[in-house]
């Protein structure tokens, strides 16, 4: 109890005087020299990483009024695989993943959502898998704790121990913070289902999310039921 309250107070103070950069989305306090320094360090590097100049050969797998999705494969030219890796690093650091390595790099397909401002605003890494463990229904949330705490606590044991057949594992899905809730993740996943296996359309049961974050779970639950 005591610690929960303390956390809320601290968060409140941190929000105080905080500014969100309209270009890179970083939340920082303009009053703090250290925050300003960190923002300056992050800002340009981030924008350079998500900048997409266009390639001679692009594997465009979907097109929309507000952007397109391109697919990068491990055997593609260095400039393409490097961009995919750099964007994946950004996603990883936001997700708090420590290791950069993938479980099967040779089969990893990276889908990048490029918006009309030529920025990579979404990234999805899909890999071949044979089996997955279904995420189980959540027990009712007790009234006295907030949603994030609850989901964080239950993250470890929410999966079934019975393996089920799956074909495509989503090891990362990330959308630029300023571009969320515009169906970018939904469109990335729809595109994966249509293009992951040549000539066939995967059902929602044939794809599996690996170790979802609370946000990832909210999205996956919504996506899988609709």
Cβ contacts of 151 within 8 Å, gap of 6 or more: 138, 214, 217
215 is an interface residue for ligand ACO by CB under 6 A: yes
Draw the binding track, 152-171, toward ligand ACO (x: CB under 6 A; -: no contact). ------------------x-
Stretch that binds Zn ion, among 10-18, 43-51, 85-93, 120-128 (CB under 5 A): 43-51
Among the listed residues 29, 35, 43, 107, the single contact to Zn ion using CB under 5 A: 43
Whole-angstrom distance, CA of residue 83 vs CA of residue 136? 35
Count of CB atoms situated within 10 Å of the CB of 169:
21
1 is an interface residue for ligand ACO by CB under 6 A: no
> CB 102 → ligand ACO: shortest distance, Å?
12
193 is an interface residue for Zn ion by CB under 5 A: no
With beta carbons less than 8 A apart as the criterion, state whether 42 and 26 touch: yes
Among the listed residues 7, 20, 145, 218, the single contact to ligand ACO using CB under 6 A: 218
Cβ contacts of 80 within 8 Å, gap of 6 or more: 55, 72
> CB 78 → ligand ACO: shortest distance, Å?
25
**Burial of 193 per CB tally in 10 Å (0-12, 13-18, 19+):** middle
Among the listed residues 39, 92, 129, 216, the single contact to ligand ACO using CB under 6 A: 216
Whole-angstrom distance, CA of residue 211 vs CA of residue 71? 23
Nearest in space to 124 (alpha carbons), one of 204, 64, 189: 189
Beta bridge partners of 72: 110
Name the DSSP letter for residue 51.
B
Among the listed residues 18, 95, 102, 159, the single contact to ligand ACO using CB under 6 A: 95
- Binding residues for ligand ACO, per CB under 6 A? 94-95, 170, 172-175, 180-186, 209-210, 212-213, 215-216, 218-219, 222
- Binding residues for Zn ion, per CB under 5 A? 21, 23-24, 43
């Amino acid at each position: 109890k005591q610690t929960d309250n303390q956390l809320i107070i601290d968060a409140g103070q941190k929000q105080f005087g905080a500014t969100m950069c309209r270009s890179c989305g970083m939340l920082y306090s303009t009053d703090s020299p250290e925050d300003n320094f960190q923002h300056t360090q992050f800002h340009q590097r981030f924008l350079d990483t998500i900048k997409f100049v266009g390639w001679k050969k692009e594997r465009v797998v979907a097109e929309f009024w507000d952007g397109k999705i391109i697919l990068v494969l491990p055997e593609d030219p260095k400039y393409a695989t490097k961009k995919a890796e750099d964007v994946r690093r950004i996603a990883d650091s936001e997700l708090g993943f420590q290791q950069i390595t993938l479980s099967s790099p040779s089969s990893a397909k990276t889908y990048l959502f490029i918006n009309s401002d030529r920025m990579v605003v979404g990234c999805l890494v899909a890999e071949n898998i044979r089996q997955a463990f279904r995420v189980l229904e959540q027990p009712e949330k007790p009234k006295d704790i907030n949603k994030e705490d609850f989901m964080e606590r239950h993250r470890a044991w929410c999966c079934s121990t019975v393996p089920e057949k799956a074909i495509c594992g989503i090891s990362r899905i990330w959308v630029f913070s300023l571009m969320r809730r515009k169906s970018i993740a939904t469109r990335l996943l729809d595109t994966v289902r249509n293009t992951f296996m040549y000539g066939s359309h995967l059902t929602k049961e044939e794809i599996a999310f690996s170790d979802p974050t609370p946000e990832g779970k909210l999205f996956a639950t919504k996506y899988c039921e609709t």
